[in-house]
Chain A
Amino acid sequence: MVEYTEAAAEIVEAFNEVPASSKLELLLEYANALPALPERYADHPELLERVEECQSPVYLFVEVKNGKANIFLTAPAEAPTTRGFASILQIALDGQSIGTITSFSDQFIQDLKLSELVSPLRIRGMHGMLSRIKRQVQEKSL
């Protein structure tokens, strides 16, 4: 059994509890919950890192302060699936410690069991987001 953050465990539980027919609705709820970027990033796109693994324009930024990380992600409204993935990772990892994030298991993405709903391309996009979050956290905590 892989250890997750409490928030991540709740998300896995939510996706595993709902019937298959409601999984998309759940993903849409997450997509709608993705917070807008704070002004300091919204006005400075050059500070954001593009997630090249995603076919939609997804950008992220990580702030590390006092050993904890805040995660900012953005994705366009016409790409709700990608927004959903970004939102899930943001909820799972935001405010966590550096160690928790860098050792966070990629298994999380498999455990959401989304591969029946979305194509492998999409799932890889989510892996891309996660690995870039981890890398930024590592770089910024040095």
Chain B
Amino acid sequence: MTYELDPNPKFAQYKHPEALVSTEWLTANLGKPGLVVIECDEDILLFETGHIPGAVKLDWHTELNHPITRDYLNGEDMAALLSAKGISRDDTLVIYGDKSNWWATYAFWVIKLFGHTDVRILDGGRAKWIDEGRELTTDSTNRSTTDYPVIARDDKNIRAFKEDVFAHFGKPLIDVRSPEEFSGERTHMPNYPDEGALRGGHIPTAASVPWSRAVEEDQTFKSIEDLTDVYINKAGIGAASDVIAYCRIGERSSHTWFVLKYLLGIEKVRNYDGSWTEWGSAVRVPIVKGSEPGVVPVGF
């Protein structure tokens, strides 16, 4: 840890209080050396309409994905990206964004694939910062380039592939999409266009916990009691120490991944980023329709 923790008592309840900061903490620490604020939004123009002073923009669509293969950047590309943004390996990164930090946690997950140590989420995200009337600017941020080292991406610990999901059957699997996507009534989010899964339904045995159940109306994370009730009790994770979360393309499930791993402190949590667009289109993989989780498939 390179930076002081936010002493906010709410965060102390969580297993990893070091993964969150409050708007108050950020206001007090803004501009200090070794602290880089990153905005990552679903709407890629929001940053330009006004952002936290000194924040750098990270574009989930154009910057984090490999330009050709359906994959993330490799170590060289990530080093070049973070160097260009003026980020050093030992910097404390505070990430925030729109939509309850949905994309912020996605960026957090991708950066963690490269093992950056001190990464934190701004609790409440962009909306809370704005609702509290805190400062925004449209001034562009110019940070001197750095020399971020080339770190091999680690796909083993926090990322799951289709084969890993097969090997995981029998352990908790969390489907964070909407109930309609879970049951198979639709293959995409309500009000979002269809993005091409060929079958509707869910992965056998998955519990349905829409990602937004982890957040309050003001977009901050729920208390540890509420999160325990939602995930450990109701979704049946119980004492399990190995969980996989998925959604449609791995974004919404990054949010749940963050909650399970950093707030609830489950030892091994992986995000299956292939998610439904892969599972629901792959040939001869088992699918369950309807609102029940279904049973462990046999013969696969």
Contacts and interface: CB of A to CB of B under 8 A. Distances in A.
Q: Do A and B come from one complex?
A: yes
Interface of A: 24-25, 27-28, 31, 52-56, 77-82, 84, 116-121, 124-125, 128
Contact of B44 (A78, A117, A120): A117
Contacts of A79: 43
Interface in B97-142: 98
A80 B195 contact: no
Contacts of A121: 192-193, 195
B195 A28 contact: no
A125 B44 contact: no
Contacts of A125: 193
B69 interface: no
Nearest to A25: B48
Given A55-B192, A121-B192, A124-B193, A24 B43 contact: no
A55 B192 CA distance: 5
Interface centre among B62, B191, B192 (most CB of A within 10 A): B191
Q: What 7 A-B pairs come out closest when comparing CB atoms?
A: A80-B45, A124-B193, A53-B193, A81-B45, A55-B192, A119-B61, A81-B43
Contacts of A77: 49
Interface in B27-82: 43-46, 48-49, 61-62
Nearest to A20: B62
Contacts of B43: 56, 78-82
A105 to B, nearest CB: 20
Given A24-B45, A116-B62, A78 B98 contact: yes
Interface centre among B43, B44, B48, B191 (most CB of A within 10 A): B43
B62 A117 contact: yes
Contacts of A84: 45
B189 interface: yes
A35 B45 CA distance: 18
B107 to A, nearest CB: 15
Contacts of A31: 45
A125 B191 CA distance: 10
Given A24-B44, A116-B62, A117-B62, A52 B195 contact: no
Given A28-B45, A55-B193, 12 more contacts: A28-B48, A31-B45, A55-B191, A80-B43, A80-B46, A81-B45, A116-B62, A117-B44, A119-B61, A121-B193, A124-B193, A125-B193
A124 B48 CA distance: 23
A103 to B, nearest CB: 24
Given A78-B98, A116-B62, A117-B62, A52 B45 contact: no
